[in-house]
Structure 1
Amino acid sequence: MASASTRDDIRSAASRLFRERGFARTTVREIAAQAGVDPALVIRHFGTKELLFLETMRLSMNDEPLLDVPPERLGERFVEVLLDGDEPSREIFLALVRGSGEPRIAARLKETHEKAFVEPLRARLTGPDAETRARMAGALVAGLLYSLWVAGDERLLAADRSELVTRYGALVQQVLTPGE
């Protein structure tokens, strides 16, 4: 049973450090120190720092708030849901972006983009170009999060939230339902 507890301690310490510092600036020794274990145990339980990162840095989106929204409000609601995301989600997104120089982390970022941005929109769309529209809208919202969270665009960060939701939501909506 000590093994499961040790794994949980390591996972918890790694998650906290990766979210705070990112992949490159976090060492196995720091993770071990935070978990109160020998660094060799980190490797024994998880193999590599990268595998530990991949196990602890998972981002998912609760797409339930999108299900009851009429199609003509989907863009605005999607932006609202993303902006309402919790702090750990933001930190995980940033850790994935910052660590994306590593091939497996880049693959996780791509997977996250598909599951968090494209799939929830694709599930609500119909028509022959639904896949393309979902991908374009996913790219739009990913760009917004990049501007806010990675680039730290001070004017966007200071913008009125409801205006940001309304205006950016209208852009996303235009891609989702062109000509409607």
Structure 2
Amino acid sequence: MTEHNQTLPHVADTAEARRRPGRPGRRPGSADTRGEILAAARKVFAEKGFDKATIRGIARAAGVDPALVHHYFETKDGVFVAAMRLPFDPAVVIPMIVNGPREEVGERLVRFILTMTGDPNAREHVLGLLRTAMVNEQGVAMVREFFSSAVLGRVGAELGVPQIRMQTAFSQMLGMVMARHIMRLEPLASAGTEELVELLAPTVQRYLTA
């Protein structure tokens, strides 16, 4: 099993790095245009789901020009990540997972999930989204569409892996996160990252490359 030292990309950092200062479009008289866009986005995503929501619709709900939404967040994925306060950005994470030796993609994926959910702040945002999905019909549709379209669909396309295999690998990791951090089953909850990578990576690798 190959050792990797990865630094978890933080959404705020990656989003800030992609922004281009000095571009026009800020709405006059608004102290927090970005926050107003995010508030409007949460409402639009909740009502329409991820797939049917659009940058134009979010801009209309926020009372701004669509170019301003693109200025702050670039893409609909970026809006969703910021609005839901997700601790990862698909634009950063997907290349990190799919680039590199094909025989180690399962290890990279498992280590990323374990590292991300090992951070208490990141984990709380992930678990909050999962709880919303479990108790709210609109919430589960929104989360399902985001992961299907923006995450699993893109990873599968990059790797040439059928969606049934991508979803099976995802369910393996989702079950691990829930058992480890919601049910807190022992000794799983207290196991170290490398121990779990060694156990889980070969199974996930089989789903993705068999």
User: Taking structure 1 as the reference length, what is the TM-score of the superposition?
Assistant: 0.61
Residue 64 of structure 1 is matched in structure 2 by: 95
The structural deviation recorded for 1:120 is 4.8
What is the correspondence of 1:23-102 to structure 2 with a 5 Å cutoff? 56-59=83-86, 60-61=89-90, 62-85=93-116, 86-100=119-133, 101-102=135-136
**Contact preservation (8 Å) 1:147, 1:153:** yes
What are the equivalent positions in structure 2 for 1:110-125 lying under 5 Å apart? Answer: 110-115=144-149, 118-125=152-159
Partner residue in 2 for 1:5: 32
How far apart are residue 149 of structure 1 and its match?
A: 2.5
Q: Which amino acid aligns with 1:94?
A: L
In the TM superposition, residue 88 of structure 1 has moved relative to its aligned partner by 4.2
1:67 offset after TM fit, Å? 3.0
Q: CA RMSD in A?
A: 3.4
**SS of alignment partner, residue 123 of structure 1:** helix
Distance 1:160 1:88 in 2: 18
Cα distance in structure 2, aligned partners of 1:121 and 1:7: 29
Q: 1:149 and 1:2 mapped to 2: Cα distance?
A: 44
The 8 Å contact of residues 76 and 165 in structure 1, kept in 2 or not, is answered as yes
After TM superposition, give the deviation of residue 168 of structure 1 in Å. 0.4
The percent of aligned pairs where both chains have the same amino acid is: 28
Quick one: which amino acid aligns to residue 102 of structure 1?
N
CA deviation after TM superposition for structure 1 residue 172, in Å: 0.4
1:133 aligns with 2:162: no
Unaligned runs of 5+ in 1: 16-44, 46-53
Letter in 1 for 2:95: E
Change (3 A) 1:126 1:93: same
SS of 2:138's equivalent in the other structure is helix
Among 138, 145, 150, the alignment partner of 1:104 is: 138
Alignment partners' CA distance in 2, 1:80 and 1:103: 31
Q: Give 1:171 deviation, angstroms.
A: 0.9
Please list the CA deviations of residues 26-80 of structure 1 after superposition, one character each: whole Å capped at 9, or x if unmatched.
xxxxxxxxxxxxxxxxxxx7xxxxxxxx973153442222132211111111011
Cα 1:119–1:97 change in 2 (3 A) is same
> So what's the TM-score if we normalise by structure 2?
0.54
Query: What is the deviation of 1:144?
Result: 1.5
Give 1:165 deviation, angstroms: 0.8
2:100 aligns to what SS in structure 1? coil
Corresponding pairs, count = 140
Cα gap change, 1:80/1:115 in structure 2, threshold over 3 Å: closer, same or farther?
farther
* In structure 1, C-alpha distance between the alignment counterparts of 2:139 and 2:123, rounded to whole Å: 16
